[in-house]
A and B are shown apart, each in its own frame.
Chain A
Amino acid sequence: MKKIIALLLALVMVFSLVACGDSGNSDVTPGTDQAGEPAAPDAAPGDEETPAEEPADVVEDPAPAPADGEDVVLPRNETLYFAGQQWGAVNSWNPIGTNQNNAMAIASGVGWRETMFETLYMWNALDGKLYGLLANDDYAWNDDMTQLTFTIKDAAKWSDGTAVTAADVKKTFDIGIEIGNGVAGSYGAYIDSIDADGNTVTINAKLNDAGQPVNPLKILDFLVLQAIAQENWINTCYDRNNGDATAILNDAGDDVVWSGPYTKYYSDDQKVVLVRDDNYWGQDASMWGSLPVPKYLAHNIYADNAAGEVALKAGEVDVCQQFIGNVQNLWLEDGLPISTYYDEAPYGICLTMPTAWFNMNIPVIGENAALRRAIAMAVDYDSIIANAMTNQSPSFSEVPRSLMNPTAGEQALYNQSEVADLQFAGNDVEGAKALLDEAGLVDTDGDGWREYNGEKISLNAVCPNGWSDWQASMEIVAAAGEKIGVEITTLYPEYDIYQTVFVDPNQTEYAIFMWSPDASTPSNPWTRVNQFMGMDYIGIQNNWSGNWGQYKNEEADALIKQIPLTTDETELKRLYTELTKIYLTEVPSFSLMYRPSMFHTVNESVWTNYPADDGRNIPPADCTDGYGIRALYELELVG
């Protein structure tokens, strides 16, 4: 008897050990997360989205139809699968809230995501034009640009069948200002009020002391980036939360009324599915004339980029908004039916330029423009572009450096020949050394490193850990420092630490650090230029908006302030050229590469006729953003 008990006990111990062993192994797996770069390219500073956080509370299941994830069976030939947008479960479906973490419905990339909630106009980053959506095509400024007027389309309807009116636009703005959501942050300083008269909307600009509008460009941003919510629903939401701003911002919005072609169907921490609204107003001839082709838009939530990439290769993902290194190998070597916007490098449309910012709070940097310029000149950008971007970016000899992104529209805004002497394409070690010698930053004690005021110049180059392309870039910046006798060491803190330090206007911990300026909206390149050199951001705590290096230049700031009010193209060009000159002489920051703000890699196993460089003028905007949503109306099934 004793023996049997002993045997049983031994068995129990063995099993429990095995069980412990398994859980022990799983300690190691979180390492795979490091490869991911969650949501980084998606969240443009200054728009609705606050930095993604883990959902604080479990929201009620907003799905109308299926009760259980197991029951969600989506016919493959009616579903368009996405990757690279949604990380973690959806927080809310509330278009006037914050922190929705809802990348399929409430987000913006290259323009607003027009799937469920619609904007007045659609932004087309390709031609820089606004296309009417809820509003009719033509908007009009009055003569001194203090008022902008347009009308709402007659056909535009909410999902409950009522018409979209000017009052909805007014209410969306007013409630935003009242409860302090993204509207207040993005447009509160530029829009004074909105008047609604039937179908006619008039936006009144805020005026400065001189009686001029503060910034008409930002009002255009409102037209393409602000989704309009229904007045009735806003009132319902307001009443049930007793007007408490925090409660309204966090309202789950399960009963929300929408105007777009899709609505929520299912969501949990595994996937998010939108279903087509077959009563969508846009099938009216005055808009699209038809419904979008896929019945479902689905986004499985992947652990990291690598998982999304594997799913794309397997044909489980149709549209992939992720950076894929050497993307051409997917078709050249693996022979997969995968394509990008362009068949050749750079494969996509580069709208932004990840930039290394010099921290002006550090004396040796702030006091030595020569040091800043020398470091920027010595960096081997071709290596960065070949390495971090695997050549999915034009080089700085192809598109010389300036304040502009590489699109033709922005490049035409400054005079290339006037600044040609100041532009540098990188890897100019001798030139950089000469510049430093000339500035008196020399190696006096013979240790191979240059000194300033008797102290060795020692800087760090910082970006978040696991953001591998930026890390590789920082390594190349450090290598450039070594070549010119300036010690630069790399530092990769975790993102949660990084994001608290680089937004602090007084920090001296990071000397050279990375962040991306704005990509493409109607107010660009002005917003970007302001981010590079504007003084609006000096001393702002928790500064997510711009000028992260805290560069101060009154002259540049004055020029920047003139631009929004300048309509004369020659004058505009002169201003941008002057600013480019200052930027290239002073080098408060230096861009390391050009980069698409959204990647567009599509697998054509199920769907085809995606946006491509074929004259259709549909931007590669994930088939959902701004005018890019037109792609959904043109998709075809393969075979």
Chain B
Amino acid sequence: MKNTLRQVFHSSKFVAGFVIFVAIILMMIIYPLFNPGNPLEQIGVGTFAKPGTYVSLYDAARTKTDTLRLPDAADNRIAAALTDEDRVAMVEWFTLMGADISDLDTADTDAMIELWHETYDPTARPKGMTNAKINYYKRLNNAIMDLGAADTITIAEYNDEGVLEESKTILDTDYVNTKNVANVKTLPLGTDNFGRDVLKELVSATGTSIRIGLIAGIVATVIGLTFGLLAGYVGGWLDDIIMFITNIFTVIPSFVLLILITYSLGQEQRGAAVVATVIGFTSWTWTARSVRSQVISLRNRDHVNLSKLSGHSLVRIVVMDILPYIASYVVMAFILQVSSGILAEAQLSLLGLGPKTTQVPTLGLMMNWAMLYSAHTNGSWWAYFPVILIITLISFSLNLMNTGLDQVFNPTLRD
């Protein structure tokens, strides 16, 4: 056993797959320790908040400030309000309004803004200008107005008599250290369509999906193994019957079968475990076939015949004399079943046939909701891309482990 393990861990492919898989498992275990709480909690109001750090404006306004005189602060402020395209659009407006722009330097913000104040008329509707463009100029005007506003922002609160009372003035050189602000939230992957923290949900969903894969893998392997062993060892009419059933299942595309079964179960019945079991029930056929063929080649070996002569029971012969010889194969098949179980869940959920929604997060459900909310067309990559990446990494690591094991155990592939 020790020797086998040493052999296995000599395979670089297996080790690479193993490391990736363990890293994912560790992330699943460790991340919730640092960021506890319900992964399905809707913290954001609204859809798809961008990844980044969110500072509470309410708290920041009450935090002690430090004065920093940064040389490029004003430039940054202007650049954020007035992009190069905005400047081009401003020149367009000047032209439309017949202003003299012969010696206007578009980089000269003050001159641009001055001319803007002279020429902009919110009621003007130049011939042929689209509504979208007019709205754009309105927004641009608001941004320019903000730029030209006073250097200070005054914060006022209602006192007991309901009268506004000035409580604080913020200068353009006031800064707060984010460490001093009471509420700062970093959302490394933003929020999803329900306003949930995507990273937290992703970690939890990975766990669920791996569990689904494991259950599906175990179910499929147990069924496949039992059928394969029985058919291969007993043979005769039992073999005929089992192979008949197996062939029927092989011929029907398992995914179609999966869709039909989950659909007919109805949504109320579809918990994660049920979906996993259904996936297992539809994917055992290849295991059964290959186990059977291996058993057929084993059943007339000398040690099996010796066992038979010694009067050992069928169960004992199968378990003690045959199973160990195909154990390596079964482990490899199991790994592949886990991987395909995770993929099957993702596919099902994407069709809206996955586990009952929002009771548990799964990778497939995350993608399903992202798709329902058009995350792929509105550029909210953080809602689906990390999910795809995790699914890919899990399948990749499992397949890599499988290939590594194959190289160790399959004599024809051995170096």
Contacts and interface: CB of A to CB of B under 8 A. Distances in A.
The answer to whether A and B assemble together is: yes
A27 B256 contact: yes
B133 A27 contact: no
Contacts of A35: 371-372, 374
Given A306-B377, A325-B47, A491 B267 contact: yes
A309 B377 contact: yes
Given A28-B347, A331-B135, A387 B374 contact: no
A339 B45 contact: no
B194 A608 contact: no
Interface stretch (A249-257, A273-281, A465-473): A465-473
Given A391-B46, A468-B372, A490-B358, A31 B131 contact: no
A475 B357 CA distance: 9
Interface in A44-71: none
Contacts of A492: 267, 352, 357
B131 A608 contact: yes
B130 A325 contact: no
Given A24-B253, A306-B377, A387-B47, A337 B132 contact: yes
A365 to B, nearest CB: 19
Q: How large is the interface on A (under 10, 10 to 19, 20 to 34, 35 or more residues)?
A: 35 or more
A316 interface: no
B372 A471 contact: yes
A356 interface: no
Contacts of A460: 268
Given A466-B352, A604-B132, A608-B128, 15 more contacts: A31-B371, A32-B371, A34-B351, A34-B352, A325-B378, A329-B379, A339-B131, A386-B47, A386-B195, A387-B193, A465-B267, A466-B372, A475-B194, A491-B267, A492-B352
A485 B371 CA distance: 32
Minimum-distance CB pairs A-B, first 7: A604-B130, A468-B372, A386-B46, A339-B132, A337-B132, A608-B130, A31-B351
B300 to A, nearest CB: 33
B183 interface: no
Contacts of A602: 131
B373 interface: yes
B351 A639 contact: no
A332 B132 CA distance: 10
Interface in A5-58: 24, 27-28, 30-32, 34-35
Interface in B246-295: 253, 255-256, 266-268
23 contacts: A27-B255, A27-B256, A28-B350, A305-B374, A306-B377, A329-B378, A331-B132, A333-B379, A337-B130, A337-B132, A337-B133, A339-B131, A339-B135, A343-B135, A383-B45, A386-B46, A386-B195, A387-B46, A390-B47, A493-B266, A604-B131, A608-B129, A636-B128
Interface in A328-347: 329, 331-333, 335-339, 343
B186 interface: no
Nearest to A607: B130
B266 to A, nearest CB: 8
A462 to B, nearest CB: 10
Contacts of A391: 46
B70 to A, nearest CB: 28
Main secondary structure of the interface of B (DSSP, over half): loop
Interface string A595-609: 000000010100011
Contacts of A325: 47, 373-374, 378
Given A382-B45, A387-B194, A475-B358, A30 B128 contact: no
A638 interface: yes
Interface in A501-519: none
Nearest to B127: A636
A309 B131 CA distance: 19
Contacts of A30: 351
A262 B138 CA distance: 36
Given A325-B47, A465-B352, A493 B357 contact: no
Contacts of A472: 193-194
B42 interface: yes
Nearest to B131: A339
Interface string A173-186: 00000000000000
Given A383-B195, A475-B358, A479-B42, A468 B132 contact: no
Contacts of A309: 374, 377
A289 to B, nearest CB: 21
A609 B379 CA distance: 29
Contact of A493 (B48, B193, B267, B351): B267
B136 interface: yes
A130 interface: no
A390 B46 contact: yes
Nearest to B45: A386
A329 B195 CA distance: 18
Contacts of B48: 326
A27 B47 CA distance: 30
A158 interface: no
B193 A306 contact: no
Contacts of A116: none
A361 to B, nearest CB: 19
Interface string A376-395: 00000011001100110000
Interface centre among B138, B268, B369, B374 (most CB of A within 10 A): B374
A612 interface: yes
A610 interface: yes
B136 A31 contact: no
Contacts of A72: none
Nearest to B259: A27
B45 to A, nearest CB: 4
Interface centre among A325, A604, A612 (most CB of B within 10 A): A325
B135 A468 contact: no
Contact of B45 (A326, A333, A387, A491): A387
Contacts of B372: 34-35, 466, 468, 471
A339 B135 CA distance: 8
Interface string A399-430: 00000000000000000000000000000000
Interface centre among B131, B138, B374 (most CB of A within 10 A): B131
Nearest to B129: A608
A471 B268 CA distance: 15
A639 B138 contact: no
B132 A338 contact: yes
B388 to A, nearest CB: 15
Contacts of B369: 468
Contacts of A608: 128-131
Interface string B188-201: 00000111000000
A492 B268 CA distance: 9
B258 to A, nearest CB: 11
A476 B42 CA distance: 9
A189 interface: no
Contacts of B266: 493
B374 A306 contact: yes
B149 to A, nearest CB: 20
